[in-house]
Structure 1
Amino acid sequence: MTDLTDLGIAAIRDGVREGAFSAREVAEAFVARVAAAKSLNAFLVETPDHAFAAADAADKARAAGETLKPLAGVPIGMKDLFCTKGVASTAASHILEGFVPPYESRVSQNLWDAGAGMLGKLNMDQFAMGSSNETSAFGNVISPWRRSDGGASGKNWAPLTPGGSSGGSSAAIAARLCPAATGTDTGGSIRQPAAFTGIAGIKPTYGRCSRWGVVAFASSLDQAGPMARDVRDCAIMLEAMAGFDPRDATSLDLDVPKWEAGLSGDLKGKKIGIPKEYRVENMPAEIEALWQQGIAWAKDAGAEIVEVSLPHTRYALPAYYIIAPAEASSNLARYDGVRYGLRDLPDGANLQEMYAATRAAGFGDEVKRRIMIGTYVLSAGYYDAYFTQASKVRTLIARDFEAAWESCDVLLTPTAPSAAFALGEKSADPIAMYLNDVFTVPSSLAGLPAMSVPGGLDAAGLPLGLQIIGKPLDEQSVLNAGLAIEQRAGFTARPEQWW
């Protein structure tokens, strides 16, 4: 029998329904694999009992002849940004160390209601602030992928980033520690790590998935989404995650489409736009070549290719790094040592001194940097010059996309400007790190659905991703274009196990 940990959501779901194997066998296989992969540091908390309980419920329902739930028998990983009742939820920050929520996030509850089990909480960049998973207070996640640094023996390997902030999710899926996982995407934190590790991931339209119970970074940008082995698995998981939530004022009161049933790799009659502004300066030849290959695959699937212009793209990154830190500085003001999490109370300290000591000890350098940037751009005398202007630019970026939809159905771009880089390679230069988001941020600012699918390998044998961006609420077209590329790319590469 195929190793159960090689199976994705659809294969596990169908196998359990057909009796090819039990849900308990699946859970045991993944629990054992998680336990054996601690060197990757992908999981902060392991929850085998949760996975076994869900598996046993699925097996019991099948034995009783009941109709199984959509994700019955499927164990998943949960990014540590999602609050999970009775299980530590820290956002990978010391300031929340020891926090055990008495409630469940809406997205995780939706998944449990669909029959999924939880293998554990996944490591991430602290408060989702980062592009490399190097800002976690609990250590770096290490990508299961490796590249050669040119040692004489060919075995001199440098540990690589799995991307960020959802790096624990991407590493765990690529290493076959779980078939799928939740992620969150503020400026590319689902799509960039998916590209770096050779998996699929989709950020749905802003408001598709509830933000209730998800630790906030930038409230007007944060959006939960699935990460999985392939496009079909993403569609299945997104159906379970999405839905209206009256507790989230930004939640969309809309029925959840049947995205899996609507999947088709036939793009006849569809127009795919190629934004000329995404050909950024010094873009590696391998990224350009992959983009051209993606265009050829889209044509082969029946699509018509059109060039479009998004003239304000060049301003997206600076606008994002004003808006996101501004919202973060407001959201993170609640972490003061009074109600939950860390409290640093020096002898004789007053209330203000306790606030300062707690936040100094609890937040990491990147979080402090973004709080300071955000506080500055919101301060008196600078609000209009920075935050107001960035908000105007955001509106112009959204209008660029609206104009593009008049001539195309989806856009095709690279996901990231490079393959995965070595841990520590860019951590000393925040600007270089922020540039990782150059292709993903524009669609985040506009609240659009966008997906990354693996397209191939670079010269060092590392995965590269292609991004599809769609119209608001048109996840189906994004998934279908992703499926068309996936079918033609035939990406089957996986990291050689070394951990």
Structure 2
Amino acid sequence: MSDLTDLTVAQIRDGFRAGDFSAREVAEAFNANVAAAKALNAFIVETPEHALAAAGQADKDRAAGTLKPLSGVPIGMKDLFCTQGVQTTAASHMLEGFTPTYESTVSAKLWDAGAGMLGKLNLDQFAMGSSNETSYFGNVISPWRRADANGLGGNAPLAPGGSSGGSSSAIAARLCPAATGTDTGGSIRQPAAFTGISGIKPTYGRCSRWGIIAFASSLDQAGPMARDVRDCAIMLENMAGFDPKDSTSLDMAVPQWEAGLSADMKGKKVGIPKEYRVEGLDADVARVWDAGIAWLKDAGAEIVEVSLPHSKYALPAYYIIAPAEASSNLARYDGVRYGLRELPEGANLQDMYAATRAAGFGAEVKRRIIIGTYVLSAGFYDAYYTQAQKVRTLIARDFAQAFEQCDVILAPTAPSAAFALGDKTADPLAMYLNDVFAVPASLAGLPAMSVPGGLSKDGLPLGLQIIGPAFDEQAVLNAGLAIEERAGFTARAEKWW
């Protein structure tokens, strides 16, 4: 039997059910990997006792014949999901030490399904970032290293993507078989692409946002990250579902995505957006994209060109809408009700607000609050926020028209492979451009997935993105499976940590 930590969610679930190993053995193996990988800084809080308690219950349930869908499977939980009795920080100083008295709907569903928690995963502060360099608790480091053949240096620490960089790094390093992520403008898909794993952002509203610390309410969506497409389907089935506590939650039955998996694309049309063939597109990204097209054609799909003419405006529209909503959502952190309170001697209420927010928020969060407050202010609301929302409507209309001609759309996930930590921190606009291919699907609220497509010339993973119509996660997963089977991606980071 291979090392337990090399097994996928499906293999752990099925092997445990077959009696090949105990749930406790699985939990202990992953706990040991987590404890030995401090150098990655993937976890803010480790919870080995939670994983062992769930494993103990799973072993009892197996003996009693009352197994649950995720019995025996330990996972990582992004530290944006409130977990009862376990510190939840959103990787910020503002919420350092905050211990919720309640459980987020998504995490509650996973625990009810039998999963155990290995710990709370690091992220960009309040989910704002593309490299996991904005966390108050320090940078997350990718387990991957560049090949040194081109003289760029094989030891430069690389970004694991963001904001779900702790999740992507932990899965790629075999610290957990799967993890939760959240995607506002690509924060599941881009880190998945950077670390050679899979991740899906479902249709907006599929997974409840209740108990997830808010960034941009009309964009935030929880989703799973795992080693392969099947695991993403298994996880998503146990995360999704209607929640009356969330007014944006979809009141729809949860499909059996795992049972519906099929790599047969016969009769399906795959759209290739001509606007994504931008001048200067990275040669490795273009090569893997062309390979993905060939793989889907081999699976029986017909390839058609589609147009998304307003996608070039997606990034500026996103960086108006998301900061505006962040400015509103983060106004609650004022030192009065919960979280950090800075109260200088002789300070009045206004002084306390200012001191608390100055100390509690990092530079990137402050930047987005300032942008958001500006675009919502009198005299600028119509010029910026209203116009951005109109652009958002046009982008959604473009996708609707494209899906009249095709079943799914194939595009790159990110414009490059992972970059070195520190490479883009001095230039926020260069950092924001990491989201250029991911943001349009977020603005339209569509399901989108990243699967590994190959390696760059530096030996780093590159992801392929599949975008589907609203509510059709099955089509996205199936196209992902067709690519996965043909790409045969088995590369993994060589252990250095």
TM-score normalized with structure 2 length: 0.99
Which amino acid in structure 2 is aligned with residue 298 of structure 1?
L
Mapping of residues 86-485 of structure 1, within 5 Å: 86-148=85-147, 156-485=154-483
**CA deviation after TM superposition for structure 1 residue 155, in Å:** 6.8
SS of 2:280's partner is coil
C-alpha displacement of 1:281: 2.6
Deviation at 1:202, TM superposition (A): 0.0
Q: Which residue matches 1:2?
A: 2
Contact between 2:146 and 2:153, CA under 8 Å: does it hold in 1?
no
- Secondary structure, aligned partner of 1:45: strand
Contact kept? 2:148, 2:458, Cα under 8 Å: no
Matching residue of 2:35: 35
- Cα distance in structure 1, aligned partners of 2:279 and 2:103: 45
Give, in whole Å, the separation in 1 of the partners of 2:447 and 2:254: 14
> Could you say which residue in structure 1 is the equivalent of 2:58?
58
Give the Cα–Cα distance (whole angstroms) in 2 for the partners of residues 467 and 22 of structure 1.
36
After TM superposition, the structure 1 stretch with the greater mean CA deviation from structure 2, 139-148 or 480-489, is 139-148
1:90-112 residue CA offsets vs partner (Å, 9 max, x unmatched): 00000001100000000000000
Amino acid at match of 1:493: A
The offset of 1:67, in angstroms, is 3.2
Q: Is the 8 A contact 1:377 1:383 kept in 2?
A: yes
Give 3-state SS (helix, strand or coil) of 1:348's partner. Answer: coil
User: What's the secondary structure of 1:302's corresponding residue?
Assistant: coil
Contact 2:194 2:417 in 1 (8 A): yes
For residues 168-194 of structure 1, what are the alpha-carbon distances to aligned partners after superposition, in whole Å with 9 as ceiling and x for unaligned?
Answer: 000000000000000000000000000
Query: d(CA) in 2 for partners of 1:181 and 1:377?
Result: 35
Matched residues in 2 for 1:311 and 1:482: separation? 25
Q: Judge conservation of contact 1:148–1:158 (CA < 8 Å) in 2.
A: no
Residue correspondences, number: 497
* 3-state SS in 2 of match to 1:299: helix
**Could you tell me the TM-score, scaled by structure 1's length?**
0.99
Report if the CA contact (8 A) 1:271-1:407 is conserved.
Answer: yes
Gap change, CA 1:368 and 1:452, over 3 Å in 2: same
Provide structure 1 residue ranges, at least 5 long, that are not aligned to the other structure.
none
User: Using the alignment, how far apart are the partners of 1:443 and 1:155 within structure 2?
Assistant: 35
Deviation at 1:150, TM superposition (A): 6.1
Equivalent in the alignment of 1:11: 11
CA distance in 1, matches of 2:55, 2:409: 40
Q: Give the SS at the match of 1:312.
A: helix
Query: Counterparts of 1:43 and 1:151 in 2: how far apart (Å)?
Result: 32
In structure 2, relative to structure 1, the CA distance for the partners of 1:111 and 1:352 (3 Å cut) is same
**Moved >2 Å (runs of 4+):** 148-152
Letter in 1 for 2:109: N
Q: Which secondary structure state, in structure 1, belongs to the residue aligned with residue 94 of structure 2?
A: helix
Would the alpha carbon gap of residues 156 and 459 (structure 1) be closer, same or farther in structure 2, given more than 3 Å must change? closer
Give the aligned partner of residue 80 of structure 2: 81
Any conservation in 1 of the 2:122–2:167 contact (CA below 8 Å)? yes
In 2, Cα distance between the equivalents of 1:206 and 1:362?
Answer: 30
Q: Match of 2:107, as an amino acid?
A: S
Distance across 1 between alignment mates of 2:355 and 2:149: 45
TM-superposed deviation, 1:31: 0.2
SS of equivalent to 1:298: helix
d(CA) in 1 for partners of 2:153, 2:451:
29
Contact 1:149 1:158 in 2 (8 A): no
C-alpha distance in 2 between matches for 1:160 and 1:146: 7
Distance 1:348 1:150, change over 3 A: farther
Question: Quick check: 2:197–2:225 contact (8 Å CA) kept in 1?
Answer: yes
Q: Which amino acid aligns with 1:498?
A: W
Whichever residue aligns with residue 127 of structure 2, its letter is A
Which amino acid in the other structure matches residue 39 of structure 2?
A: S
User: Residue type of the partner of 1:485?
Assistant: I
Quote how far apart the aligned CAs of 1:243 are: 0.4
Residue 327 of structure 1, CA deviation? 0.2
Structure 1 Cα separation of the partners of residues 148 and 365 of structure 2: 31
Check the 8 A contact 2:150/2:458 in 1, yes or no.
no
Shift of 1:339: 1.1
Q: Which residue type is aligned with residue 466 of structure 1?
A: L
State the superposition RMSD in angstroms: 1.0
Runs (5+) with no aligned partner, structure 2: none
Between the aligned partners of 1:348 and 1:281, the Cα distance in structure 2 is 58
